[in-house]
Amino acid sequence: MVNRSTLTIAPDDRYRGNDSSSLPAIDVRPLRIGPLVVDPPILQAPMAGFTNYAYRQVVREYGGVGLQATEMVNARGFVWMESQKAEHPDRLWGVRDEARPLAVQIWDNDPETMAKVGRRLVEEFNVSVVDINFGCPVKQVTERAHSGSYLLKDPPRMHAIISRLVEACHPTPVTAKIRLGCTRKNINACEIARVVEEAGAAALTVHGRTAEEYFRGHADWDRIAEIKSHLKSIPLIGNGDLDSPQKVVHAFAAYGVDGVMIARAALGRPWLFAQAAAALRGEPIPPEPTLEEQKECMMRHFELVVERFGEEKGVQLMRKYACCYAQGKHGARHFRSHVARVSTRQEFFDVVAQYFPTEPDLAGSPQC
Ligand SMILES: Cc1cc2nc3c(=O)[nH]c(=O)nc-3n(C[C@H](O)[C@H](O)[C@H](O)COP(=O)(O)O)c2cc1C
């Protein structure tokens, strides 16, 4: 068991507040994932349907993120599309050419298929990291494909997948992303962490919920912290409910993680990474952009999406992002109800001009 006194390093009230002044600097080092140095040690989470090239680009422009990730890509689907000589899935949009470092996340339960796709991603796409999804709780992935979080019940298979992939991708690092376990009664993240490390993974990311919890309740950071002592040398990246620079600093200070990963809170706030990075350095936290600047950011995002997908599909895709940008602001509900119905570029522009919130955030942080 972990020695609690080593964990509660500085649960200082200053880390919990919401003021925009600087926080006391803490000793946070760059994260090492195999040969890759991730600095700052703040990662952008993979999110299916969201973290495509356009989103990654917008995040990159604000800075503050040490490693970005694609949406999860199904390895079997990748192989099938190649056999059909079809285009690569939209989920690999931009991957060949965009800035590094970049992780591509893949999922499946067959070690050979995973190894084949991992090798291709390394050789042809030149990715910085191949990440494996062992956390997805969605039935299509778990019950139908016996993959994602389903594999937390089968450590030997996890070992086989990781070790085969590590061999195929060498020297590019392979990482694993897990949840605490399948159910609250079967939390086995510490055992899984040992398997992940023994199999040769270069880092472990843990979302502090079980699969059955989906996104309910709170991420259990005490459980994340416990895992640290079960890892010999690879870094632990904590994930779950980080929605402010203060919480990011607190995660490092109080839970002893080597890195943090942010998902939902940054969907409509791509500047959150830059704020968190400044906080970690003990520098003044950049203020929230004005609502006008936030709207401009959303429009830039819109143009990137429409450029790739065309007007019809692009507008359809942008509806959900637009809701994220408005989330937590006065009038967000009204905006959402209108933007949900737009289907052309002009309609999108009109609704944004008329209904995008013009008053500051309500109390609390937005969550999509
Ligand atoms: C819409 C959505 C899609 C997600 N897709 C993925 C995915 O493709 N791969 C993955 O490992 N996790 C995925 N996740 C989980 C997130 O990466 C993250 O672990 C989770 O949201 C908890 O972090 P947060 O509290 O910062 O949001 C997804 C989450 C959401 C909300």
- The CATH number of the domain holding residue 304 is 1.10.1200.80
359: region left, alpha or beta (phi > 0 left; psi from -120 to 50 alpha): beta
CATH of the domain at 220: 3.20.20.70
Same-domain status, 276 and 295: no
Identify whether residues 244 and 174 lie together within a single domain. yes
User: 332 with 273, same domain?
Assistant: no
Count: domains in the chain = 2
pLDDT (tens, 9 = 90+) of the chain, 368 residues, equals 333 332 222 333 444 444 446 777 778 999 999 999 999 999 999 999 999 999 999 999 999 999 999 999 999 999 998 888 777 778 899 999 999 999 999 999 999 999 999 999 999 999 999 999 999 999 999 999 999 999 999 999 999 999 999 999 999 999 999 999 999 999 999 999 999 999 999 999 999 999 999 999 999 999 999 999 999 999 999 999 999 999 999 999 999 999 999 999 999 999 999 999 999 999 999 999 999 999 999 999 999 999 999 999 999 999 999 999 999 999 999 999 999 999 999 999 999 999 999 876 655 444 44
197 and 315, same structural domain? Answer: no
Position 88 scores a pLDDT of 73
Pocket test for ligand 1, best of 207, 321, 327 (most atoms within 8 A of CB): 207
Give CA separation, 294 vs 62, 327, 357, in Å: 12, 12, 10
Mark whether 94 and 222 lie in a shared domain: yes
Residue having the nearest C-alpha atom to atom 6 of ligand 1: 47
Q: Let me know whether 302 and 263 are in one domain.
A: no
177/146 same-domain check: yes
Q: Indicate the residue among 231, 261, 281 that finishes a domain.
A: 281
Give residue for tokens 């285009």: 87
- Spatial contact of 267 and 236, defined as CB atoms under 8 Å apart: no
For residue 105, give the ligand 1 atom closest to its CA. Answer: 9
305 domain residue, yes or no? yes
Residues 191, 338 within the same domain: no
Nearest CA to ligand 1 atom 26: 263
Q: Tell me: the pLDDT tens digits for 61-84?
A: 999 999 999 999 999 999 998 888
Q: Per the domain annotation, does 329 fall within a domain? A: yes
Do residues 247 and 221 make contact, with C-beta atoms less than 8 angstroms apart? Answer: no
Determine how β-strand 31-33 pairs with β-strand 129-134.
unpaired
Say yes or no: 31 and 132 in one domain: yes
Separation between Cα atoms, residue 338 and residue 353, nearest integer Å: 12
From CA 22, how far away is CA 36, in angstroms rounded? 29
Q: Is residue 2 part of a domain?
A: no
Task: Give 72 Cα–ligand 1 centroid separation in angstroms.
Answer: 10
Cα 65 to ligand 1 centre (Å): 16
The burial class, CB within 10 Å (0-12 / 13-18 / 19+), for 49 is: exposed
Task: For residue 233, tell me if it sits in a domain.
Answer: yes
pTM: predicted TM-score of the whole model, two decimal places: 0.93
The confidence score (pLDDT) of residue 117 equals 97
List, chain by chain if needed, residues with CB within 6 Å of any ligand 1 atom. Answer: 45-50, 71-72, 105, 133, 135-136, 177, 207, 239-242, 262-265
Per-residue pLDDT at 14 = 40
| Span 144-195, pLDDT tens digits | 999 999 999 999 999 999 999 999 999 999 999 999 999 999 999 999 999 9
323 given a catalytic annotation = no
Q: Give a yes or no: residue 286 inside a domain.
A: no
Say yes or no: 244 and 295 in one domain: no
Q: Which domain holds residue 328?
A: 291-361
Residues 89 and 192 in one domain: yes
